[in-house]
């Protein structure tokens, strides 16, 4: 019975959230309709602000931000990979556990490949603008 109550509560939260989002969407369009009925001119920036989804405004970031984040995390992964591999490999080597040594090497390679992947993927993003003055 408790499991059913939990899932009913989850479904209720989802439905309420969807209805709330729908109401906000309707209010935005009602605002546009009232402005047009009163003869007010709607500029393009205001129209985009009213029609854009709320999550889209949160996602707008300055150009180059994603590039920097991916480069930083990729570099951190490349530096962490050998340390993680050694931290797991050495106890396995002392104990003679071949499985632990293989897992250490596999985990180190996986972390290194993730770092390389992040460095390669950031090439497809817009790089940050160059600063005019050196830091």
- Report the greatest alpha carbon distance in the chain: 82
CB-based contact 92:100 (threshold 8 Å): yes
- Using CA atoms, how far apart are residues 15 and 7, in angstroms rounded to an integer? 12
- Beta-carbon neighbour count of residue 74 at 10 Å? 19
pTM above threshold 0.85: no
pLDDT in tens, 93-123: 898 889 999 999 999 999 999 999 999 998 8
C-alpha separations of 9 from 16, 18, 22 in Å:
10, 14, 20
SS3 80: helix
Residue whose structure tokens are 């396995």: 92
As a whole number of angstroms, the distance between CA 29 and CA 45 comes to 15
Question: In the prediction, which pLDDT does 82 show?
Answer: 94
pLDDT, one tens digit per residue, over 42-82 is 777 777 777 776 665 556 666 777 888 899 999 999 999 99
Long-range contacts of 38-42 (CB under 8 A, 24+ apart): none
In angstroms, what is the C-alpha Rg of the chain?
26
What are the residue ranges spanned by the domains of the chain?
A: 2-59, 65-124
83-94 confidence digits (pLDDT tens): 999 999 999 889
For residue range 13-33, list pLDDT tens digits in order: 999 988 888 888 788 888 888
């Amino acid at each position: 019975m408790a499991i059913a109550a939990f899932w009913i509560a989850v479904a209720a939260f989802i439905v309420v959230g969807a209805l709330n989002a729908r109401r906000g969407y309707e209010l935005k369009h009602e605002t546009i309709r009232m402005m047009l009925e009163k003869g007010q001119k709607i500029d393009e920036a205001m129209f985009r602000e009213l029609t854009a989804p709320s999550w889209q405004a949160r996602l707008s970031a300055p150009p180059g931000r994603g590039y920097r984040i991916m480069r930083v995390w990729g570099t951190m992964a490349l530096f962490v990979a050998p340390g993680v591999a050694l931290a797991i490999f050495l106890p396995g080597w002392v104990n003679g556990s071949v499985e632990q040594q293989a897992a250490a090497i596999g985990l180190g390679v996986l972390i290194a490949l993730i770092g390389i992947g992040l460095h390669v993927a950031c090439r497809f993003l817009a790089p940050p603008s160059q600063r005019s003055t050196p830091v």
